Amino acid sequence: MLIAVNTYPFGECGSKPRYLLQKSGHQIRFSPWANRLKPEEVLPSSLNASGIIAGTEPYTREILEQCKNLKVLARVGVGFDSVDLAACQELGITATYTPDAPSLGVAELTIGLMLDLLRGITRSHIDVSNGLWNRGIGTLVGENNIGVLGVGRIGKHVVRLLSQFHPAAILGCDIAPDYAFGGEYEVEWVGREELFRRADLVTVHVPLNPSTMGLVGLAALTSSRGLYLVNTSRGPIVDEGVIWQSLSDGRLAGYAADVFSQEPYTGPLVDRKDVILTAHIAASARRTRFLMELGAAEDCLAVLNGGQPKNPIP
């Protein structure tokens, strides 16, 4: 059977994922485009494949219906908003993802963005690069109440790392609080309104679904004053138009984002000095990438060989 590896790069952070595919006995076709596939490139790269190793490129119903041989679509990563799951189910295509692999990488970048906001690291770099020597005064993590919106797989990693900085308080908000975990790390469970009212910095770690689209918008930020906000979850969870407004009226003191509603991001936030923007790099660490590729390769081969994947998309 043919396996199309549509994500790029693949195998550069460790040879095992590529080795597993190549020794499987299946035909392997790597993407001819040395970049993230554009929408118009997805179908030609996927035709006749029984298995696809997918990146963040879109798999619409129209594309999936034309992939007549497709049995498994194995996503390298945790987000699956680019895949039409209803179409997969109707067409008998098993969709998988790698939910555990990126967690620590996302959490580490989140902590880095927190420190950047609280200490003005990027702003100081820009000033020095422009010949200015402004020694601005920031705050220690320990001076701040840190709110974690979504204390699941990634949120728990954030809390574990954050606890080493001894924040004034860790405020957790989740639809299904893990009270045992919260007790171990002294998490104070609060509702969303209280989280945004009491926190000095909020970091977002909820999945993207219809109920979380625009979750962090005007209503959430109404009671905030001078809040720092970090989003390493998914772009549409945060209303980017409200972010601009809230930075201008003081509800937000700064915003850091690794994810956007449209990527690559070219919107108005690029012009603000109180914003830190990164190019969806949270999972772009060598070990993280290796584990994601390995998990996707293993699940793809498991399905094609008549077995069950470890991580089917729920």
257 backbone dihedrals φ, ψ, rounded to 5°: -140, 140
Is-catalytic flag, 40?
no
Amino acid letter at 184?
Answer: E
Question: How does DSSP classify residue 210?
Answer: T
Catalytic residue among 123, 205, 234, 251: 234
Task: Report the C-alpha gap between 128 and 121 in whole angstroms.
Answer: 11
Cα separation, 185 vs 141, in Å, equals 16
Distances (CA, A) of 305 to 7, 26, 233, 302, 310: 22, 10, 33, 5, 14
Catalytic site residue from 157, 280, 289, 293: 280
Q: Kindly list the distances between the CA atom of residue 67 and the CA atoms of 4, 111, 313, in Å, as whole numbers in the listed order.
A: 11, 41, 19
Which two three-digit tokens encode residue 205? 């770690």
Cα 175 to Cα 173: distance, rounded to the nearest angstrom: 7
Residue from 125, 263, 286, 287 carrying the catalytic annotation = 263
**280 counts as catalytic:** yes
For 262-269, the CB contacts below 8 A with 24+ separation are 262/235, 263/235, 265/235, 267/240, 268/244, 269/240, 269/243, 269/244
* DSSP classification of residue 269: G
Compute and round to an integer the Cα radius of gyration of the chain: 21
103-119 and 121-129 helices cross at what angle (nearest 10)? 60
Active site residue 160: no
Residues with a known catalytic role: 234, 263, 280
